[in-house]
Amino acid sequence: QFQNTADKGVVTRIRVLLKLSAELVLCGIAESPGYCIKIVRKLTRAGMKTKNNSETVLSNDALAHHQAVVSFVRSYGYEFMGMKVPKHLESIEREHGVDLNSSEIMMKSLQDRTNDLIVDYYNCLVVRLKKEHEGLCRRRERNKEELLNRGSLSKTSIEYLEKYKEAMENILKIVETMAGLL
């Protein structure tokens, strides 16, 4: 269901579905948070590939889901993952004398598993970032050799370098956002 969803409209619909299901759980209309966790699991696992039984990397399709995952973690991380309450809610917490960090929506073991799922996703993003950086370094080396041998760079070499730079910047933004949330 979540494969090949690079279309922004599809990603937006997934994000809205995830937020709606989370809000239904928070309001008490839906009793089980299982549906939300199932969507998050599919989003984070879609496009993950294990190489050499040790390293898991993300495909380009999986990167399309990052906005939905980031949105969920930002909005519902403290309820569904047991994360620390966001700063903007700390004042409400103090004012009303309520401990928002003790979420009773999910059992602690399920919160820990969901948190582990998001951390695994983050680790895969970091591996992908490293691979993009290696590709960018290789491209720069090729361009340097071409420049030394020919005296100028071809148009395709410049385009490839720009493509690598753009991919690297996009993944770096994703990793920085996830690091800030976790």
- C-beta separation of 43 from 115 below 8 A: no
Paired strand residues for 49:
57
- Helix, strand, or coil here: 57? strand
The SS3 of residue 64 is coil
Q: Place 52 in a pLDDT band, splitting at 50, 70 and 90.
A: low
87-103 per-position pLDDT tens digit: 666 777 777 776 665 56
Q: What is the pLDDT of residues 107-118, one digit of tens each?
A: 777 778 888 888
pLDDT at residue 146 greater than cutoff 50: yes
* C-alpha span between 78 and 103 (Å, rounded): 7
Closest CA to 160 of 182, 148, 178, 143: 143
pTM beyond cutoff 0.85: no
User: Does position 53 have pLDDT exceeding 60, yes or no?
Assistant: no
Residue in 138, 119, 115, 117 with CA at minimum distance from that of residue 127: 119
> What was the pLDDT predicted at 159?
85
Q: Determine contact, residues 75/22, Cβ cutoff 8 Å.
A: yes
